[in-house]
Structure 1
Amino acid sequence: MSATAQGHVETPAEQQIHVAAPARRRRGHATLVIGLVLTGLVVVTALVSLVWLPYPLTDIQGGRLEAPSGAHLLGTDRLGRDLLSQLMVGARIALTVGAGAALLAGILGTAIGLTAALARPWVDDTLSATLDVVIAFPVLLLAMLVVAVQGASLGSAIFAIGLAMAAVIARLARILSRRVLQEQFVTAARTSGTRLPGIVWRHVLPNIAPTLAVALALQFGVAVLAEASLSYLGLGAPPPNASWGRMLQEAQGTVLTAPVGALAPGIAIIVLVLGVNFLTDGLREFTDPTRRRSR
């Protein structure tokens, strides 16, 4: 055991925490940096696609299944379209769907979770049971059902994926809100005459926001995979929009003769999902109060 400046004798467990904290902090910084780099690479690609593309998506003047060259850095697909241009537009669509679905899930899920936490017990029980049933269904399956009803489009994909993910956010928001509502500072606010909207705005939302932000970042990666899956099945954004999932579907028949057509979108999906996951882990290291206390 070792003694601190205040005369307190540290136990072996406390010494282990103090030794592990710097290593965990360095790992959190490294994870955050890696996530920012990988995610930033996709974001920059998407932003560039707004102002410049090597070739229009409708340009089929290139040769069929050309290998990477100076004219086409990633080659062409079976219709003669430039793969790099499709990949860049696919980054834009993936980020749009991921951000839109996460935003929709955050707004709808938080509203439902707060309603369940503040409502009467029978309303809370009903909403909780409904959320459990919805969560039991895979996100992709629910999204396919919604898109099948509304029709394939970019807006339908965002709405379907966001709606499917809202149940997960709602259950988390309910649990966090109920925990905050039991704190002493909320009781003091009620005693002082603060109305319910003020308690929610000043006390509940600020305390649940960091954890919900991390959960939404994870759901962003789920949304990207769901969008790619919908596009692969022909239920995503219709042509001429390029999607990584559609690129994979179109390249599966020529993967042996022109592997770049399948490798490029596959690697892009991996980079974005890994980047978001690393970024989420790094954010959790700085937003989780239990980890902050151990530093």
Structure 2
Amino acid sequence: MSGAKRRPHATLVIGIALTAVVLVVAAVSLFWLPYPLSDTSGGRLEGPSALHLLGTDRLGRDLLSQLMVGARIALTVGAGAVAIAATLGILIGLGAALARAWIDDTFSAALDVVIAFPVLLLAMLVVAVQGASLWSATFAIGLAMSAVIARLTRILSRRVLQEQFVTAARTSGTNLLGIVTKHVLPNIAPTIVVSLALQFGIAVLAEASLSYLGLGAPPPNASWGRMLQEAQGTVLTAPVGAIAPGIAIVALVLGVNFLADGLREYTDPTRRRSGWRSR
């Protein structure tokens, strides 16, 4: 039947499930933790037990409590960085697509230069200037990722602007703002959303890397990267301290990547009756 609804792709379901688990853990951490992060009453490097489900670190702090707060920080940095990358990237990309040819070429060359640098390296440079903090890490990662979104927005926008329905809209007297809001943005949105979902996973890895290097959120914040750094010296005697945050990072990154792949499959324009849609 032509009106039959398409079922969500399996990767989309898996991605939603994995991401939802981390979201729930982060939400619970806002209201309840097994132990305060400053509580060092537990024995040093204790194994999992009824009192400490994941054990304790070398200072006697509960690992489960740190893991829960780490989920909140990872999601906060990821969401904030994606919001910054989306805002800057879409504005720059649209501006380049709508500008004169020489301005567009200048923007394109500048974006290629920025993209050539790894996200983590650019983030480290920004954090080194601003100082280590949760906001600095979020802003640095978002700024580094914005170039990718800007280039994608520019390419997609230029493609839409060449379509016949945009030419018809211009002929009918639709102003530039109307063309952007009614035709360009609705048609590029699915691809941009998928790319932002992928960038979220990159942001999580970048935040963990910065925290591992001591450039992330400072103590008493507990981040997964810092947990890995603190556990590296005791990984043989107390492996849970390294395994737990490692699994958490993998689960969240895989979750958002599966989510992005599922969204790409679900919104694949080749499965529609027509390519670009005019709204």
Q: C-alpha offsets along residues 75-129 of structure 1, whole Å, 9 cap, x if unaligned?
A: 0000000000000000000000001000110110000000000001110010000
Aligned-partner SS, 1:117: helix
Residue 290 (structure 1) aligns with: 270
Q: Which moved more, 1:284-293 or 1:219-228?
A: 284-293
- Give the partner amino acid of 1:180: V
- Establish whether residue 172 from structure 1 lines up as the match of residue 152 from structure 2: yes
Letter in 1 for 2:25: T
Contact 1:285/1:291 (<8 A) preserved: no
Aligned-pair distance for 1:286? 1.3
Q: 1:71 aligns with which of 39, 51, 57?
A: 51
**Structure 1 partner of 2:187:** 207
Q: Please, what TM-score do these two structures have when normalized by structure 2?
A: 0.95
TM-score (norm 1): 0.90
Counterpart residue number, 2:175: 195
Cα RMSD of the aligned pairs, angstroms, is 1.3
1:95 is aligned to 75
**Equivalent pair of 2:9/2:266 in contact (CA under 8 Å):** no
Mean CA deviation greater in 277-286 or 151-160: 277-286
Q: 2: distance between equivalents of 1:33 and 1:132?
A: 34
Partner of 1:250: 230
Aligned-residue offset at 1:32: 1.1
Q: Which runs of 4+ in 1 moved over 3 A?
A: 291-294
Quote the residue 2:277 is aligned against: none
For the residue of structure 1 that corresponds to 2:9, the secondary structure is helix
Aligned residues: 270
Aligned counterpart, 2:3: none
Please state whether the residue corresponding to 2:30 is helix, strand or coil: helix
Who wins on radius of gyration, i.e. which is larger?
1
Contact 2:93 2:150 in 1 (8 A): yes
Structure 1: gaps of 5 or more residues: 1-24
Kept in 2, the 8 Å contact 1:285–1:292? The answer is no
Distance in 1, Cα, partners of 2:167 & 2:230: 59
- What letter corresponds to residue 209 of structure 1 in structure 2? A
User: Are the aligned partners of 1:218 and 1:276 in contact in 2 as well (CA < 8 Å)?
Assistant: yes
The answer as to 2:119 corresponding to 1:139 is: yes
Deviations 1:204-256 (A, max 9, x none): 01111110000000000000000000000000000000000000000000000
Structure 2: tracts of 5 or more residues without a match: 1-5, 275-279
Instruction: Provide the residue aligned with 2:89 in structure 1.
Output: 109
Percent of matched pairs sharing the same residue: 84
Distance 2:14 2:149 in 1: 26
The answer (yes or no) to whether the contact 2:201–2:253 under 8 Å persists in 1 is: yes
Q: Which amino acid aligns with 2:142?
A: G
SS of the residue 1:72 aligns to = coil
Q: Which amino acid letter does the alignment assign opposite residue 194 of structure 2?
A: V
